[in-house]
Amino acid sequence: MLFAVYYLSKCKLLRYIVANHRLSQAHIAAYKAIKKINPAAEVGVAHSVIWFTKRFSRPKNFVWNHLFIRSIRKFQDFVGVNYYFSDRDIKEKTDMGWPIDPDGFYHVLKDAMRYKKPIFIFENGIADAKDEKRTAFIKDHIASMRRAMSDGADVRGYFYWSLLDNFEWNKGFTPRFGLVEVDYQPKADPPRADKTLERRIRQSALVYQKIIENKG
């Protein structure tokens, strides 16, 4: 039984490494093609990272966070970071069941400094349908980002995920990540396009606005 588990795990890792290699080769080819057309174009990727702290954290960190980025490190003009959670046991969680860990954000940004490239945070957000935790989430994660910047991280931009509630591939329309709520329910019978998809700005969006305007 143990051998079977080991064998399956090894096979999955090998498939992952093969897929990583093929993706990196595709990226490098695309990078060269873009640069040939426009040498001034800034080319990079958005990579989803996790702060690992538990058993085997170092190999997990390498395989999940760095294997792909290392393979394209000479063919990227910036490092794109998507961060949502760590693997720590934290009581407060998002609607997705992910631990809310802004301290992990600091650590992954510090870790990204090894590539000596500008850093962009392309995704950082929370599923919070009631909008009860989003304000604190945004403030705490931006504070962690500023802490990383004060320690040398060359962060050039931060993008909250997401402006609007969105479709998640494995969860559908249930998770609510948006600064702006989207009403997916029809208001007429039969449904009419002009009576659906109403947008409502959440309170957390107004707080984020103040942060952007340097007032919060």
What would the pLDDT profile of 6-46 be if each residue is shown by its tens digit? 334 557 888 888 999 999 999 999 999 999 999 999 999 99
For residues 124 and 141, membership in a common domain is answered with yes
Residue 139 structural domain: 42-212
For residues 1 and 95, membership in a common domain is answered with no
Instruction: Say which amino acid occupies 4.
Output: A
The residues, any chain, with a CB within 8 Å of residue 125's CB and separated by 6 or more, are 84, 137, 160, 161, 162, 177
For residues 103 and 84, membership in a common domain is answered with yes
Q: State pLDDT tens for residues 4-15.
A: 333 345 578 888
Please choose, from the candidates 33, 31, 30, 21, the residue with its C-alpha nearest in 3D space to the C-alpha of residue 70: 21
Domain of 207: which CATH number?
Answer: 3.20.20.80
Q: How many distinct structural domains can be found in the chain?
A: 2
Confidence of residue 123 (pLDDT cuts 50, 70, 90): very high
For residues 114 and 23, membership in a common domain is answered with no
Strands 119-123 and 155-158: parallel
For residues 29 and 52, membership in a common domain is answered with no
For residues 106 and 7, membership in a common domain is answered with no
CA distance 9 to 57: 17
Instruction: With beta carbons less than 8 A apart as the criterion, state whether 159 and 123 touch.
Output: yes
For residues 23 and 87, membership in a common domain is answered with no
For residues 146 and 69, membership in a common domain is answered with yes
Q: Is 186 helix (H, G, I), strand (E, B) or coil?
A: coil
Please choose, from the candidates 67, 69, 107, 63, the residue with its C-alpha nearest in 3D space to the C-alpha of residue 85: 107
Instruction: With beta carbons less than 8 A apart as the criterion, state whether 51 and 87 touch.
Output: yes
Instruction: With beta carbons less than 8 A apart as the criterion, state whether 124 and 158 touch.
Output: yes
For residues 58 and 142, membership in a common domain is answered with yes
pLDDT at residue 214, as a whole number: 87
* pTM recorded for the entire structure: 0.90
For residues 53 and 30, membership in a common domain is answered with no
For residues 54 and 157, membership in a common domain is answered with yes
For residues 21 and 114, membership in a common domain is answered with no
Q: State pLDDT tens for residues 83-118.
A: 999 999 999 999 999 999 999 999 999 999 999 999
The residues, any chain, with a CB within 8 Å of residue 203's CB and separated by 6 or more, are 131, 135
